Amino acid sequence: MDSKNLIMELANKMEWTPKEVTDMLSALGSAIGTKLMEGDSVCLESFGSFQSEKTMERVGVHPGDGKSYLIPPEIVPVFKLDEALRKRIRSLEDNG
């Protein structure tokens, strides 16, 4: 499902205009991004949680010339699916 289809589906379910849904999703994305940049996590009950995790410094190897180089640590966003939702999805796969 692409974003346009998601917006239309939410608009129908919530009886909102597509613009209202677009604005809400934009505000949600902005709020989640702000909290992640502040080092906080954001938990959406029955869906999952967004967190920031710091990767460790590590050594990489260039595939073209085989030379080693240092990859600096960085903070990356991570999404963890709610366990109950994960189980529901797996049960669909098992029955599908």
* Beta strand pairing call for 75-81 and 48-54: antiparallel
Nearest to 7 by CA among 20, 18, 23: 18
Looking at residue 93, what is its pLDDT? 77
Tell me which of 4.10.520.10, 3.40.50.720, 3.40.50.1000, 3.90.170.10 is the CATH number of domain 3-95: 4.10.520.10
Residue 84 pLDDT > 80, yes or no?
A: yes
Closest Cα to residue 89, out of 53, 35, 47, 26?
A: 47
pLDDT bucket at 96, cuts 50 / 70 / 90? low
- pTM of the complete model: 0.73
- The identity of residue 34, as a single letter, is T
What pLDDT is attached to residue 48? 97
